[in-house]
Chains A and B, each alone.
Chain A
Amino acid sequence: MTQPFPVLLVDDDDGDIMLVQGALEEAGVELDLHVCHDGAEALAFLRQEPPHESAPRPRMVLMDINMPRLNGLEALKAIREDEGLRGIPVIMLTTSSDNTDVMEAYGTYANAYVTKPVDLDSFNESLGTLARYWSKTVVTTSSKRD
């Protein structure tokens, strides 16, 4: 029996969200995927603020960078400064390959930085590798919030 593996995908682009869902399906990795559309909504989800009272604690967050309201790097910083959230793995998943963004993300303790390949096959392969590694090879904390 496989345990559900809750993942929070944070992306403002509906096309990109569908691409990620498609790639995970293609890879045959079953994840319990939740979606937020910007950093502010993601923080509300992680903190179980209304209307996210019954949100599960994700085993990992896939975080876009360029988003309205609160961008991915700002949301990452807020997560790392929050005692209750800081242990949640956050993987940046973005089209930006700008080394300034990469340096800032690792400097703010992103767990990994993955750029979205433009080509669909490469995109699917990259997402498949990511999903398999984090859901099967890596141990993450399943601890509930107290």
Chain B
Amino acid sequence: MPDTFELLVVDDDEGDLLLVEETLGDMDLNIHTAEDGHAALEFLRSSDNPRPHLVLLDINMPRLNGLETLKAIKSDEDLKRIPVCMLTTSHDDMDVMSAYENFANSYVTKPVELDNFANVLKDLAHFWGTSVQLPVSP
């Protein structure tokens, strides 16, 4: 795990953002948020911000949705190595297929029940935070 794990959460639902912050708050993470795809790309492309170790990306959002944002990240030479995990209520097979074919690093659905949602977030943070070797940009 890097010294400080920088996490970018992209979601238009303030309740969901809050839940992520609360659930992962006691882990040693720096949580950044963006309310849609445009805001996320702006965050990622600004040199003032730390490079996230992981992006959690909702799908259904106004302005620029998650799949469009994913495509933009994965076709950007500078950004494409950042792991992007879709975190969405959509169980639609087409969304799952499209996400993986556009190189989402994983696809996780948000459970409706709060406790389950918290557990899913912890699993996710545990895998990406402890088991995975992340790219280090030179």
Which residue numbers of A lie inside 8 Å of B, CB to CB?
80, 86-89, 97, 99, 102-103, 106-107, 109, 111-115, 126, 129-130, 132-134, 136-141, 143
Chain B positions within 8 Å of A109 at CB level: 74, 80, 103
Identify 11 residue pairs between A and B in the complex whose beta-carbon atoms are under 8 Å apart, listed by A's number. Answer: A89-B100, A99-B136, A103-B135, A112-B83, A112-B106, A112-B132, A129-B131, A139-B107, A139-B109, A140-B100, A141-B93
The A-B contact count (CB < 8 A) is: 83
Asked if B101 is an interface residue, CB under 8 A from chain A, the answer is: yes
A129 contact set on B, CB distance < 8 A: 126-127, 130-131
Nearest CB in chain B: distance from A106 CB, A: 4
Query: Is B100 touching A87 in the complex (CB atoms < 8 A)?
Result: yes
- A114:B132 contact, CB within 8 angstroms: yes
Query: Quick check: A102 and B96 within 8 Å, CB to CB?
Result: no
A110 CB to closest chain B CB (Å) equals 8
Q: How far is the CA of A139 from the CA of B100 in the complex (A)?
A: 10
Q: Which residues of A contact B107 (CB under 8 A)?
A: 138-140
